[in-house]
């Protein structure tokens, strides 16, 4: 299995600032996903981050707002830039472990409140 450490677990930020969320995995994984869950909603995929290539963003999400880094096979960051109250959500990191038949594992999530 893969163990994911996601930091911070929660934060309260001022509008106009940026927050970087870290996702650390205890094993090498090919595919990492970043999601957002707004209050009362289901998960929405922001982007897929594969090591060695640019992240692939879903419709409605752009790199300038949500830059992603994937420097190696065990680590990724998602930055929420120029935050507004509408960015208040849970942000979740997930990985797919191909060595275990493609099973998915999840971080604990980051609860972001923008004031």
Query: Which residues are at the interface with another protein (CB under 8 A)?
Result: 9, 31, 33, 35, 37, 39-40, 42-43, 45, 48, 58, 90, 92, 94, 96, 101-104, 106, 108-109, 111
CA angle, residues 74, 75, 80, in degrees to nearest 5: 155
Structure tokens at 66: 């949500």
How far apart CA 88 and CA 39 sit, in angstroms, is 8
Assess contact for 6 and 109: CB atoms under 8 A.
yes
Q: Nearer to another protein by C-beta: 9 or 82?
A: 9
Structure tokens at 109: 């999530």
Q: Nearer to another protein by C-beta: 73 or 90?
A: 90
Q: Nearer to another protein by C-beta: 16 or 102?
A: 102
Identify the CA nearest to 65 among candidates 50, 80, 47: 80
Q: Report helix, strand or coil for 12.
A: strand
């Amino acid at each position: 299995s893969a163990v994911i450490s996601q930091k911070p677990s929660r934060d309260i930020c001022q509008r106009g600032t940026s927050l970087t969320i870290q996702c650390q995995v205890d094993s090498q994984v090919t595919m990492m996903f970043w999601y957002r869950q707004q209050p009362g909603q289901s998960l929405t995929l922001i982007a897929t981050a594969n090591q060695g290539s640019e992240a692939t963003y879903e419709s409605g999400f752009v790199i300038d707002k949500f830059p992603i880094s994937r420097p190696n096979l065990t680590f990724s960051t998602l930055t929420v830039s120029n935050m507004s109250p509408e960015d208040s959500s849970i942000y979740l990191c997930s990985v797919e472990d191909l060595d275990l038949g493609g099973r998915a594992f999840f971080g604990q999530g980051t609860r972001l409140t923008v004031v």
